[in-house]
Amino acid sequence: MAKPALGRGLGALLGGNAPVVRPPTPPANPVAPASAAPAPVVADNRERVQQIPLARIRPCAFQPRKDFSAESLRELADSIREQGIIQPLIVRQQDDHFELIAGERRWRASQLLQLAEVPVIVRTADDRAVLELALIENLQRENLNPIEEAAGYSELVEKFSLKQEEVAQKVGKSRTVVANALRLLKLPASVQTAVRDGRLSVGHAKVILGLATEKLQKTAADRVLKEGLNVRQTEQLVAKLANRAAGIVTSPAKITPLATDTHVADLENKLRERLGTKVQMRYAAGKGSVEISFYSDAELERILQLLGVKAD
């Protein structure tokens, strides 16, 4: 099944396929002055593929993707060696060189092969459009890790003064997804690295963000990595650390997963992902309660905003 286009889609942002301009069909019995010359047909060269020297292409300063797998690049280079570059790179003219808009993996693989020239399509695009295109291309192909994705959103917000709603619309995501991604950038650098490398999941990171200080966040992340805690165990750890920091005495009992009904656990997970914090449901015979945890005033305000509740 084809993957749905993201946001406006690369085709729309890159300009789409150039329309084929055909001369108008002449009438059956044309009547025109003998001296009249035929009207020229203006071709749209926007999609014209050019071959340019690989050495004249530079990487994009707005490329959100920073990590490129060496093994994946070698595999792509092998494919290019056999089949050639099927999809041209998208570039823009910058003084005496060309800057990549889309296709950095193909560019890097071409460097491995030491190709002299590569096929490109030259576009006219400002910095914001370039960042949007790079984000969308990578998001469509699921190439970005969570920290790279968050950094891309952050650049759109800070460099181009866009609101989170505007960013969400441009990249085809919900505002909640964008907001939760941006929160990851509040983590200490060492914790962000663990998320970038995949050693900590986004679920772990969201729970750790509930702690008020970088020191506590690092402590929690270190223990999660050392003991291999899952997200629910991490919630218990964060609650204990937060209570300890607040001077509340808690049991030093070993952290263990909570036993609960499968359906209740599924609902808890959905609420936890939606709110980005610990959620515990108690349910029996159609009755129960939902407990939502927060660990600071700022955390409470964020949760209330997500729930659409305005604090007086």
How is the chain split into domains, by residue range? Answer: 46-126, 201-300
- Runs of H (alpha helix) within the chain: 9-14, 70-83, 104-113, 127-140, 146-159, 164-171, 175-183, 189-197, 202-208, 214-227, 231-245, 262-275, 297-307
User: Model confidence over 167-185: pLDDT tens digits?
Assistant: 888 888 889 999 999 999 9
Q: pTM value?
A: 0.52
Tell me the pLDDT tens digit for each residue of 32-62.
Answer: 444 444 443 333 445 688 899 999 999 877 7
Range in 33-37, 118-122, 180-184, 239-243 with the lowest mean pLDDT: 33-37
pLDDT band at 266 (very low <50, low <70, confident <90, very high): confident
In tens, the pLDDT along 79-110 reads 999 889 988 988 888 888 998 888 888 899 99
282, 278, 227: which is closest to 256 by C-alpha?
A: 227
Which letter, b or e, does each residue of 37-62 get, where b requires 16 or more Cβ atoms within 10 Å of its Cβ?
Answer: eeeeeeeeeeeeeeebebeebeebeb
What gap in Å lies between CA 90 and CA 70, rounded to an integer?
22
Nearest CA among 73, 72, 76 for reference residue 85? 76
Q: Does the annotation mark 104 as catalytic? A: yes
Angle at 169 between CA 271 and CA 209, to 5 degrees: 40
pLDDT band with cut points at 50, 70 and 90 for residue 223: very high
Catalytic residue among 47, 75, 99, 104: 104
Q: What is the mean pLDDT of the chain?
A: 77
Of the candidate CATH numbers 3.90.1530.10, 3.20.20.370, 3.40.630.30, 3.40.47.10, the domain formed by 46-126 belongs to 3.90.1530.10
Whether the predicted pLDDT of 280 surpasses 70 = yes
